[in-house]
Structure 1
Amino acid sequence: MNSPSIAPDMPDAAARRAALFHESPRDIAERIALGLVWAMVPKRIGRLPNMARVWLRDTFLGSGSLPDPRMAGPGGIAGIARGLSVETLLSAYKRTLYPWGHVGPFKWLSTDERCVLFFNELHIAKRLRRQMRQNEYRVTFDADFEGVVSACAERRPGRFHLTWLRPKLMRAYADLYDAGHAHSFEVWNKDGALAGGGYGVAVNGVFFTESQFSRESNTSKMGFTLFNWHLAKWGFALNDGKDPTPTINEMNFRMIPRS
C-alpha cells in the first residue's frame, strides 16, 4: 500500500458540500418510514418510554446545557441535541456524548460501555496484510472530507437505506473539519476513484470514529488500519468506536466502561 498523503483543500468546497449534503423528498420519506419501523422492532421498542420522557422534559423544561451522560436511559439516550455548533459538539464529545437519530430531532447518546482500541493492541488479519502489501490502493488523510461523509450515508447494495447521517449533521461535521477537529481517511483505487474511507472527531487526545464505508473489498479496513497506526504515532491515547461492529472487533477493539 502506498504511503499516505494529505491533499490541499479542494476548490468550491461550499458548492460541493451543498450538492453532496442533500436529501431528496423521497429520501426523507423513506428514512422516516424505515426509522419508525426500526424503532418498533421488539428489542428496541422498550426504549420508547425513555425517549418520550427525554422529549417531554426538553419540550416543557428546556435546557441550554448538555445532559449528564450518567443519566442516559435505555439505548444511551441522554437528551435532545438542539444545537450542533462546533463549540457544542466539542463540549459534548468531551463528556462522551454524541449526536444521533434517524427521525425527529437529533438525540445526545452516551452508552454505559464504549468499544475502544488501545493502539498497542491493534490486530491486522493475515489476509488484510497480504492485500495491503499488493499496493493496489493509495491512502490519504483529509483529502476529501465531504466525499467521505457523503459516501458514509449512501445506499448499500442489498440493504434497506436507513441512515442517521442527515444533511444537518453532515454540515455540522464539516464545520468541525473546517475548525480542525474532524478528520477523514480516504482509500483510492488505481483509477483514482474513492474506494473506501471513514471519518471522526479528535478531542483531547481521543479519536471518535463516526462512520466508514467500502465500495471495494476491505478498502475501509486498509485505510482504517493505516489511520490507527498514524493516530498512535501522533500521540493519541485511543480510538473510540462507540459500538462494536465486525470490522472493529476484528481489529481488537474492546469494551470498556464509560469514563
Structure 2
Amino acid sequence: MYFLSRELYFPPLRHASPEGIVAIGGDLSPERLMLAYRSGIFPWFEDDEPILWWSPPERMVLLFTELKVSKSMRNILNRNMFTVTFNTAFADVIANCRDIKREGQPGTWITNDMTRAYCKLHELGHAKSVEVWMDGQLVGGLYGIDLGHIFCGESMFSKVPNASKVAFIALAKKLEEENYRLLDCQVHNSHLESLGAREIFREDFLEILTS
C-alpha cells in the first residue's frame, strides 16, 4: 500500500488494491483534492481512520442518454412542488448531507475536516451544489466537484420523499445541456441505479475523464 508524503503525487491506478484503495494518508488540501479528482481518485474514510484514497475497479456513472425518470417522478416534477437552485447554499447542503440520518449507517464519512476542505473548494469554484426547496425550506440537495466536463457527485440528502431525486435529475439535465460527458456517482448505489446510473470499468471511466 502506498503511503503519501507531502509531495503532490498519487501512484498509478494499476497499483490500487483489489477493492480500489490507491493510497493512504496525505492531506485534504485543495491542490491534492483536485489532483485526485482529475486522476479518477476520491477520498473516502471514517473519522477515526487515516485518509483513504479510492479508485474502484468499477465506477458508478450516469450517461445522460440513460437517465430514467419514472412516470411517478414526471408527475411530481410537473406538479411544481419543488424549486431547484444551483450553487446558492453550498454550506447548508454539505451540512445536511453530513447530519442526515441514513438507514443502516451509524454515522457519516463527512468529517469536520472534509466539510472544511470542500467548503474551501467551493470558495475556489471547484465544488458546487444543487438545492431543492419546498415552501422556502431546504428539503434536499447534493454537492460534488465540477471538472468542467465531468461532475463528480459526492453526497446527497432528502428531508422529504423524492427531493434528492429531483436534485439528481435537475443536475443531470443541466449537465447534458452544457455538454458534460457524464455524472460520476463513484460507487454502486441502488437509489441512483433506479435513475439510470450503472457501473463501467475504471479504464473506461479514465478514458472519458482524460479525453
TM-score for the superposition, normalised by structure 1: 0.73
In the alignment, structure 1 residue 128 sits paired with structure 2 residue 73: yes
In the alignment, structure 1 residue 71 sits paired with structure 2 residue 15: yes
1:6 is matched with which residue? Answer: none
In the alignment, structure 1 residue 88 sits paired with structure 2 residue 21: no
Output aligned runs, 1:2-41, within 5 Å. Answer: none
Aligned length: 201
In the alignment, structure 1 residue 175 sits paired with structure 2 residue 175: no
Could you tell me how far 1:120 is from its partner in structure 2?
1.6
- Unpaired stretches in structure 2, ≥5 consecutive residues: 207-211
What are the superposed Cα offsets for residues 150-176 of structure 1, whole Å, 9 maximum, x if unpaired? Answer: 111114166543211101111111111
Would the aligned equivalents of 1:81 and 1:99 in 2 still touch at CA under 8 Å?
Answer: no
Output aligned runs, 1:152-231, within 5 Å. Answer: 152-156=97-101, 159-190=104-135, 192-231=136-175
Would the aligned equivalents of 1:148 and 1:199 in 2 still touch at CA under 8 Å?
Answer: yes
Higher helix share: 1
Would the aligned equivalents of 1:118 and 1:253 in 2 still touch at CA under 8 Å?
Answer: yes
2:53 is matched with which residue? Answer: 108
* Larger Cα-atom Rg: 1
Distance 1:200 1:158 in 2: 22
Distance 1:245 1:185 in 2: 19
What are the superposed Cα offsets for residues 164-219 of structure 1, whole Å, 9 maximum, x if unpaired? Answer: 110111111111111111110011111x1110000010114111110000000010
Would the aligned equivalents of 2:18 and 2:57 in 1 still touch at CA under 8 Å?
Answer: no
2:93 is matched with which residue? Answer: 148
Would the aligned equivalents of 2:59 and 2:200 in 1 still touch at CA under 8 Å?
Answer: yes
Other structure's SS at 1:75 match? coil
TM-score for the superposition, normalised by structure 2: 0.89
CA shift in 2, pair 1:98/1:124, >3 Å: same
- Structure 1 runs of 4+ off > 4 angstroms? 157-160
Would the aligned equivalents of 1:80 and 1:108 in 2 still touch at CA under 8 Å?
Answer: yes
Distance 1:178 1:138 in 2: 24
CA shift in 2, pair 1:242/1:160, >3 Å: closer
Output aligned runs, 1:241-256, within 5 Å. Answer: 241-256=185-200
Could you tell me how far 1:77 is from its partner in structure 2?
1.1
1:239 is matched with which residue? Answer: 183
What are the superposed Cα offsets for residues 120-160 of structure 1, whole Å, 9 maximum, x if unpaired? Answer: 22110111111111111111111110011011111416654
For residue 92 of structure 2, what is the amino acid of its counterpart? G
For residue 217 of structure 1, what is the amino acid of its counterpart? P
CA shift in 2, pair 1:239/1:157, >3 Å: closer
